Amino acid sequence: MAKRLIGSPSFCYAQHVSFLGGEGSVKSLKYEAKTWLYIIEMTPGPEPDFGRVGGETTVLLSEADLYAT
């Protein structure tokens, strides 16, 4: 049986990245289903007049969906 090596991730913790629909920073990453998955906390936009209602948005994206900025 051949052993497969896991490649290192392209992005690291706290790195600023962009993707279709926004940008943010890497909060977590893990290797699953033969690809690296990243939890990205989106960069907040300007604060609305009524203030912030809750926490910022986080998204789960694969490595193929991300670009370094």
Taking only the tens place, the pLDDT of each residue in 9-59 is 999 999 999 999 889 999 999 999 889 999 999 987 777 777 766 667 899
**Would you mind telling me the total number of residues written for the chain in this entry?**
69
Which neighbouring-strand residues pair with 30?
Answer: 37
Q: How many CB atoms lie within 10 A of CB 38?
A: 25
pLDDT for 15 equals 96
The SS3 call for residue 48 is coil
Sequence letter at residue 14: A
| Predicted structure pTM score | 0.79
